[in-house]
Amino acid sequence: MANLTINVREILGSDGAGLLNHECRTVSKARLYTPGPDFVGQVFSQTDRNVSTLRNFQTLLDHGRLAGTGFVSILPVDQGVEHSGGASFAPNPEYFDPEAIVKLALEGGCNAVASTFGVLGAVARKYAHKIPFLVKFNHNEMLSYPNTFSQTTYGTVRQCFEMGAVAVGATIYFGSPESREQITYVAEMFAEAHAYGLVTVLWCYTRNDHFKVGKTDYHSSADLTGQANHLGATIQADIIKQKLPTNNGGYKALNTGSSSYGKFREEVYTKLSGSDAEGKGGHPIDLCRYQVINNFMGRVPLINSGGESKGESDLQDAVRTAVINKRAGGMGLISGRKAFQRPMAEGVRMLNAIQDVYLDQSITVA
């Protein structure tokens, strides 16, 4: 076993047994395409992607502490645009400097660093050959009033290629009024990225005020996020980034009374995600497994986001998310705020703790 920096079971505490001993009885792990040292050769090589894209995917998998495992740990810092620079970096102002962001990814043993054209372009000649760059080409921004769900392109695919990137990223707000326009242009830019040999990563988020029904927010429900993933895989995202499911039954809730929305069957809940017929309940690993199967049974790997920083609970929350992702059949975690909104040494330890989950060979697919 690799040298681990934490004891995963101790960090999980009372949640440990329920997460580490769970056996998924929805869709069997035998039916999944799971991460491994030869994922590119065994799975990704079957796609229509060109040789350069295969090479760059392997490059992504071969960097950092998780090199050679088939899993990834990615540091994303695009919050200066998405959440505003001041709000994002006030806890640790050194990260206004793009070099500090890349240094955190390097010292933290990440597979890649994901950020904006401006951040990565500012240090590309110094670092693009030292750690894989994932350039995010579209963003929301929080200065327009009122705030909207619109994602704007900030540069071109060619710029990403010339910067030395191995991958590009984009966000689509599925369910928003702007989603069809976003689907169209992101699909076109992903096709161009593949022509350049770049790996494509899609932030598959749901956004619509109607996804909040009563006091329940279904933006991260397994059924709605699962369908967002399926749409992302359809436009040839090579990796899907998604929030960890926090509940289920989004479609059911949006089809109450006289309302009618989308298409669903009760088996989505009872057979495929371990909930009841109303979409209530379900083990966290089973809910995440539903996200994985919507990624073409894992042919398109799932990475879950680490979420916002909440302070003292960050370590346990991050480790818990990583365990759920790994045991569901996912490829890794992409965690930013929990790492960069604290001193660099603490951020490195946070990233290493996440990686330990994927290095711990006793933690297997459920």
Q: Could you list the active site residues?
A: 241
Angle formed by the axes of helices 344-359 and 314-328, nearest 10°: 30
Tokens of 351: 């990233």
The whole-angstrom separation of Cα 289 and Cα 329 is 7
First-to-last C-alpha distance (Å) of the chain: 20
Please list, in sequence order, all residues whose beta carbon lies within 8 angstroms of the beta carbon of residue 339, skipping any fewer than 6 positions away: 75, 104, 108, 306, 347, 348, 350, 351
In degrees and rounded to multiples of 5, residue 112 shows phi and psi of -160, 165
Give the 3-state secondary structure of residue 197. Answer: coil
**Strands 152-153, 138-139: parallel, antiparallel or unpaired by DSSP?**
antiparallel
The whole-angstrom separation of Cα 279 and Cα 272 is 11
- In this structure, the chain runs to a length of 366
In degrees and rounded to multiples of 5, residue 215 shows phi and psi of -95, 5
In degrees and rounded to multiples of 5, residue 182 shows phi and psi of -65, -40
In degrees and rounded to multiples of 5, residue 321 shows phi and psi of -60, -40
Alpha-helix residue ranges (DSSP H) falling in 90-199: 98-107, 117-122, 124-127, 157-162, 179-195
The alpha carbons of the chain give a radius of gyration, in whole angstroms, of: 19
Identify the bridge partners of residue 239 per DSSP, sorted by sequence position.
Answer: 201
For tokens 């990223």, name the residue.
169
Instruction: Answer whether 105's CB lies under 8 Å from 75's CB.
Output: yes
In degrees and rounded to multiples of 5, residue 353 shows phi and psi of -65, -40
Instruction: Answer whether 200's CB lies under 8 Å from 238's CB.
Output: yes
